[in-house]
Homo-oligomer: A and B are copies of this chain.
Amino acid sequence: MRHVYIVGIGQLPVQKRSEQSLRQLGAQAVKIALEDARLDRVDALYAGNMLGDELQSQKHVAALIAEETGLRNIEAIQVRAAMASGSAALRIAHLAISSGEIDTAVAVGAEVMSSGDATQALAKALDAQEELPQGLTMVAQNAVVMQHYYDCFKPPRDALAQFSVNAHDNARHNPRALFKDRQFTAEDVLSSRVISAPIRLLDCSPICDGAAAVVLAAGPLARSRHRSARILASSVATDRFRLADRTDPLVLEGARQSALAAYRQAGLGPADIDLFEAHDAFTIIACLSLEAAGFAERGQGWRLAMDGSIAVDGRVPLSTMGGLKARGHPIGATALYQACELFLQLNGEAGPNQVASARTGLMQSIGGVATTVISHILAR
């Protein structure tokens, strides 16, 4: 097993509606990442994308991004795990370098959600046989979990809203965030329109377009670069699809198992993690992710949002560049944004949002209602 490093990053501004096509966004992110890594070419390209089949009539996305980038004859493969597809691409790039067969690779994520019915396509992350016939969507399913959480643990009514407030607060200093010019109070969140009770608009990450990429390489090349981040852990876990089949629907068991495996690989525990890029697609998921990853007890994650622990200068800085909520959640690209942002934090390049002496960061990516969860721990 070789050590694997991120040696270059590329991220485009997240937009409500990009004027560029899926392939152009992906290729541009790859080019920026290659330039950042001072490489002309890599051995392989692994692409994360979830909605291209329906929204762009495109089922050959990796080869298309490779062609658009001008990477001729390269190994190009698309990797998927519903909303965790970007992280799955990072996972596979990591395995490829780790194997010794591939010396350099780019993991790229791209998604254009503005050109069709994203909500319907996203629902296909659920079980089409057992869940879709009941009309379930991702937001409806998360609403069930959020209501259940409120019923069981009775946090203050603005507890979960604080995750949204924190994310938007951080996004103000991320020039690539979709909501870089907006700030919200908990009251704003609680008075925004209901999407699927109790989830309100400002509990949800937005539908948007974007692309991001990271270049991975083995030790020798990484040591020749003055900036890098080592991948200390990379793990994937799965859980049952239907909430009814789970022992405890208020524990994201997939997230727990994925985090535990990552800690084991890295030889670290939650107390060693300097910041956490969680999959905060909904405020309830930010909260449950903190609990699943060992930063809070079951039913207590909301306290970290109330007491300032998740702020940039807190104990567990969360969504430090805006997270899915406020940077934006262009599905297949999201985990690559997380990886880019961790890279910036670990190399002291996060500007006003810099976490002081950040040396290790955890990123977690969730497909479906935590049916697939992929964790990576990066370190300077």
Q: Give the chain B neighbours of A101 by CB distance below 8 A.
A: 1, 95, 98, 234
Q: Shortest CB–CB separation between residue A332 and chain B, in angstroms?
A: 11
Is A62 among interface residues, defined by CB-CB distance under 8 A? yes
Contact status B238-A53, CB under 8 Å: no
Contact status B1-A67, CB under 8 Å: no
Is A80 among interface residues, defined by CB-CB distance under 8 A? yes
Contact status A63-B367, CB under 8 Å: yes
In the bound complex, what is the Cα–Cα distance between A44 and B374 (angstroms)? 13
Q: Give the chain B neighbours of A80 by CB distance below 8 A.
A: 59, 61-62, 77-80
Q: Give the chain B neighbours of A63 by CB distance below 8 A.
A: 81-82, 238, 241, 367-368, 371-372
Q: Give the chain B neighbours of A78 by CB distance below 8 A.
A: 79-81, 88
Q: Shortest CB–CB separation between residue A41 and chain B, in angstroms?
A: 13
Most buried by B among A75, A81, A253, A372: A75
Contact status A59-B95, CB under 8 Å: no
Instruction: With CB as the reference atom, state the residue of chain B lying closest to A132.
Output: B57
What 0/1 pattern do residues 145 to 181 of A give for CB contact below 8 A with B? 0000000000000000000000000000000000000
Quick one: given A92-B92, A100-B98, are A59 and B82 in contact (CB under 8 Å)? yes
Identify which of A122-130, A196-204, A209-217, A279-287 touches chain B: A122-130
Instruction: With CB as the reference atom, state the residue of chain B lying closest to A371.
Output: B63
Contact status B59-A124, CB under 8 Å: yes
Is A379 among interface residues, defined by CB-CB distance under 8 A? no
Instruction: With CB as the reference atom, state the residue of chain B lying closest to A54.
Output: B53
Q: Give the chain B neighbours of A234 by CB distance below 8 A.
A: 101
What 0/1 pattern do residues 20 to 32 of A give for CB contact below 8 A with B? 0101000000000
Q: Give the chain B neighbours of A53 by CB distance below 8 A.
A: 53-54, 59, 121, 124
Contact status B76-A60, CB under 8 Å: no
28 contacts between A and B (CB under 8 A): A1-B99, A44-B236, A53-B53, A57-B128, A57-B132, A58-B128, A60-B124, A60-B125, A60-B368, A62-B80, A64-B241, A67-B240, A72-B240, A73-B237, A73-B238, A73-B257, A74-B237, A74-B238, A75-B236, A75-B237, A76-B81, A77-B79, A77-B88, A77-B236, A78-B79, A78-B81, A79-B92, A101-B234
